[in-house]
Structure 1
Amino acid sequence: MSEIQVLDTNVPALLKRLKSGEYLTPEFQRDFVWNSAAVISLINSIIDSKPIGMITLWEQEDTSDLQLEHLSIPDYRQDLGGTGPSYFGNNQDRTGRFFAILDGKQRSTAIALAFGGLRAIDGKYKHSGRYFLNVAAEDPLDRILYKSEKEIQKDGLNIPATAIGKGLFPLWVDDPDSIYSVWMDYTQKIGNPECYPSGQLPPQEEIQRRYQVLQKAFNGIINTKLAVYIVPKSQSLGEICEIFETLNTTGTKVSTVDLIHSWLYADTVGRGSQPILLRQEIDELGEYDGAVGWSSSKERPELIAQIAAAIHVALDNKPEPRSVSGAKVTRISSIKSPDLLAVPDRLWETFFDRKQDVAKFLGDMQEAVSGGRFSMNQCPYPASATIYMALRWYREFDAPKSVNWDQQHLDNLFRAFFWRNAFSTRYDQGFLTKVGRDIADFKAFLGSNSSTNFEDWKSVANTWLDKLIPTEGLKYEIDRSVSDGSLSGALRKAALLLLYTKSRKDVVDLSLDIQNMNNTPQLHHIFPRDWCANNRTGAAKEYLDPKISEYEWVNSPANLMPMARSSNLKWKAQNPSMAIDQLGINSSEQIDEFDRYFVDAKCLGFLKQGADGLGNFMKHRAALISNELDRRLYV
């Protein structure tokens, strides 16, 4: 492998090579899986001129048998009459010398989305929005914003002067060669009164600060280097497969949890008692009722570290933070990595000594939110749990006797916050910092407003929440999330959560307990997918034909229900109008279970009508779920 070349490139040059077809992706590679938060993290690294990794290329022959294509993301293609890729550049374009991207597709696609204008045209698809530099943001973590196309049109951000007047500068350019001229134009317009409402410029010092943010971002885009490894074309496909296998099994990133584990062991190994083995302690916590599905050394273990940091934020009597890299830390204010590293060993010792309490608090949080248990993977924003955990710990172990709020106040307030936060997608960006602020705001409100009659307090609490997260527009997001199976992320998880937590008994076989936190409840289609695919006619066409349906109803929460796998095999083999009768579902207990899963008597009546009742079933059941979720937005 001595012939491998090691080069570097910057963002404009990479975009040009990707769009022209010089760098192509093998069709066997996995689809783009990053979410907007991951893209934003990469953007921040670029504009801060931090290392952004590498890509590995394989030089190609014109006669190569490898199936290659331009970068792409899923979209709705009018010319194909259905789902199809949106390519970065013309997929037929090739340069005289071209390369296959063996490793780095995710990173390259993220850069094309952020800086090259790659996006899905259909607004129902993921990655249909755009990214902006927010020079008005005070917190560096909030300086990159992802806006949906609907938001862009609504706020007039498609007009550069309007966007600039709001402190927002589009990061993308349609032509990579124009990056320099576009950003030079930005530096001129940032001080132009014509770009601001009523021609009113911000104060000069603010203009100067914004200009510096803009200039730093531009310097990062131009100067940040991406390492490029080029494997020569003389390598065979078999050798390339070995290289590809190696790229996917080596170079594991050292996590914050690994660093905490190391120093925590070193700091506690000589204290007489057993040293703290962080990963072992996390796994032991995960065995307690309430923490099952939330505490694992293998799956997002940083959440437990975030809970510990959040507790430190909430405490009145704080143990001294730990020094990080020799620098004294005076205050833990967020759940960002530096603050996680600063959590002192004294707090960790107390935290793990009280595993049973920690697990109980986690279980109580789940019950408060949804009336049942759910796992971290089912939660829209698992980090939001740190707020409840921090305040519950504070109330139980640190608060003075004069504190006049109790668990009931916290449960009610957090439940409404949780659902507002989820359906507003407020934690999609900057949540690592927002959590610290939210803990402080919660604590201040609870401490000053909990002495009144509880019913009066709820009204005051709703007013306070309205300022933090207004309910305007949330009912629309709830309705859409329940009805549209094409949505993903927090909205999808929020719309499904009650279906998981209400899981109890199987409607076909009541002897089957389908609520088991060690075995995630399964949601299955009420109108089976195969049946839906074969019945896109008549009354059902409006809901099942993707060309004319407003929503993707088939995979929506409105068409999903908790059911055992064995029962689903019997259910989906029947015509939906006959399944209930042929499976003998007629006892009052079975009907009660249906009702528990938002399938009431009206739904059952529509279900028995088959295709003729499908539309009414979907709308009515969506309304039942939506109304219950809407109710939970209020204290």
Structure 2
Amino acid sequence: MEGEKFTLMQYSVNAILGLIDAKQFVIPEIQRPFVWKRSQVRDLIDSLYNGYPTGYIITWKNPDVQTKDGSVANGKHVLIDGQQRITALMASIAGIEVLDEDFNKDRIKIAFNPLAVDSDKRFAVQDASHIRDKKWIPDIAEIFKNDFDPFDFAMKYCADNPEVKPNDVNNAITRLKGIANRQIGVIELVHTLDIDEVTEIFIRINSKGTALSQSDFVMSKMAADVVHGGNMLRKVVDYFCHLAVKPDFYPYMIKDTEFEKTDYASKIKWLAKDNEDIYDPDYNDMLRVAFMYSFDRARLSDLVSLLSGRDFETREFREEIVEDSYRKLDEGIREFIREYNFEQFVLAIKGAGYKSSKMLGSQMTLDFAYLLYLKLSKDSSIPNDQVKHYVQKWFVLTTLTGRYVGSPESAMSRDIRLINEKGFVNYFEEVEASVLSDTFWSVTLPQNLETTSTNSPAFNAFLAAQINLNCNSLFMHGTMVSDLINISGDVHHIFPKAYLRSNGVDSKGRYNQVANYTYLDTQVNKAVSDDAPNVYFGKAIEQCESGNIAFGNISTREALNENLFENAIPLETVSMTVKDYDTFLVERRLLMARLIERYYKNL
């Protein structure tokens, strides 16, 4: 019979707070604001006061590891679910400060009216009225202090409220202090469970069914490990990801004096002046890249096991594996956060034409590209001036083929292994020949462009190609496609939507095809209006012949033809009407695919 996967325990509120204080229950030190509303804290206290159930807390025991001297270090319990409830208790009962939405430490004070008749008026989030009104105890944390004297308190309370009997006050205070003895269910998961089992248990118990990611487990493991510096390494990850999105968070970060004294703080300081949003990694991205770089593995579940000290062969847990794993992870994170590495990688992606974050779809594809940059930068067989070239080619190749979309960890694991075995250049040439054949460019890619999604990898690759090749926008010499994407511009229907709908093409799946899109200057778009292509292109041809500019700035037929070419628009479009629409879509998809092919081969 298979052993139990968990132990169901009952702990009093007081016992849980004591276990946390003794660091047996470890709350991940998340440097993010306390996300519960203060009213939710009030409701939790009210539920405990009335003896209502407050849900289960889930902990996952870190394994006991063998230390170098042969002794055994007992694993601590990492809080997997229930952190908000525990933090609420620590804030309201123990009087501990929490981070507010501006990342400042603040108290959450719950007021108590011992004589309230209506239960919904017994507790409240403290405001000025509760301090003025002598019937209210402004902060229940005072009641739970070790030196609290209930007799003295009752006497003082009755002195302020002469109509109240001391016994009534004492009974209410006794009931309030009874919260400390209320039982909370704790599900202790055994350390032998793998991540998939822990996740499944979490989902089945958690009423919201919120999935836990593997990176959540890694962050929890790191937070629980003070001995190996995991808690500080976790801060690096959290602070870096926060600064990448919000550089003005830096002044709040350095309020963490313990972290500010580390060399990590100086290594991520550059983000305070970084406003680039091409690659804003979250902690899942950062952990994944650092793990792949240092361990040559891609499954984050393996990192959880390694940080626990697991020997994959003997299935034992050993201290030296824990030490080595933290050392390697530290190396990977340091490479990830290095300003030069990060900025050069971003420049490589932008150099490939992906100059807007809205053009980037798969974060996994971006993660692997950064891993590749880090690996190739250390590869003596790759000339330094070729690193970006290969990163760009691989990024576009994997974007176009959706290599890391279906089962990303499996694909990444295989690529890492074969790159190490064959060398990157040899492996890259094999993959390129396999997935980017002539059939891909002439058949598969045009088929992939048969979509209405402007977020499709194929369409974004087309825009990247136009940016990389310095293509002018339609009808405007000197106004580049990149200018319109980054600054202002409209995605225009080459066959205007209103024109198509008025002529019977009223399905979004037809008139919103990406092959019918092009970027236009706003003023040009207004001038084109809802005219048929033969009408507004006719005006463009006329202005080329007469020299009287009606819209845009193209003044010769040669320039117009060149402008059509760089926007992958068939020359025949200038005389097309609604009856030619389907022919136009087929022809334009082919031209878009050829432009992407030319761009890729020129990278």
Structure-2-length-normalised TM-score: 0.46
Structure having the higher helix fraction is 2
Q: In terms of Rg, which structure is larger? A: 2
Structure-1-length-normalised TM-score: 0.44
